[in-house]
Structure 1
């Protein structure tokens, strides 16, 4: 069984509106393919403790959000270089930043910051 895919631009717009309505800030860092683009979501609060999630295909055909990178406070540039490299490899990729406490809740994951 596979997940029905919501067009990427609609999902991105909904995420940003939901975060904004909850008092946070959401922004598109890079636009990808309008309908079928892959999403990378950067979660953080006040630009700290950044986490990067990508929805990865599973063996059963579903796609689940997976933590692919966490920002090292001692080497913040490495985190930025990682998503920039991913974007240069995939022009269909959307990169969205959600700046709000427990941002993971907006992509259906439990929050990671207490």
Structure 2
């Protein structure tokens, strides 16, 4: 069973909070099926940006699949510029930002 975007975002942020990772919704999208983009801010001027994977959005186990849109040394300006372009194409998208100095907040993706 696939979770609605709003429920997935809420669960992801709760999991981050339990792990001591601060996170927040930067932009709220469509409750049921809005695309979710996750900015992982490393707090050193670099970020990862994860977006929905091409093709099926979920794997066989029902987990979301991710594509690494940008990786360090991408900075916050580059990330926001890319997201502005994505918002023009899809006004229903979600943007979530988490602060994780050591990793990718548990997300993995393909480049």
TM-score range, shorter-chain basis? 0.7 to 0.9
**In the TM superposition, what whole-angstrom CA distance separates every residue of 1:37-91 from its partner, at most 9, and x where no partner exists?**
11011112226320111121337x7462110113546x65222211122123211
CA distance in 2, matches of 1:47, 1:39: 24
Residue 93 of structure 1 pairs with residue 90 of structure 2:
no
Who is 1:103 aligned against? Answer: 104
The corresponding residue for 1:84 is 84
Return the structure number with greater strand share: 1
Question: CA–CA distance in 2 between the matches of 1:33 and 1:24?
Answer: 25
TM-score by length of structure 2 reads 0.77
Residue 51 of structure 1 contacts residue 71 of structure 1 at CA under 8 Å; is this kept in 2? yes
List structure 1 segments (4+ residues) > 4 angstroms apart after TM superposition. none
Distance in 2 (CA, whole Å) between partners of 1:54 and 1:69 is 9
* Correspondence for 1:23: 20
> Aligned partners of 2:47 and 2:11: how far apart in 1?
21
TM-score (norm: length of structure 1)? 0.75
Match of 1:46 among 37, 43, 54: 43
Instruction: Kindly report the root-mean-square deviation, in angstroms, between the aligned alpha carbons of the 2 structures.
Output: 2.4
What is the number of equivalent residue pairs in this alignment? 103
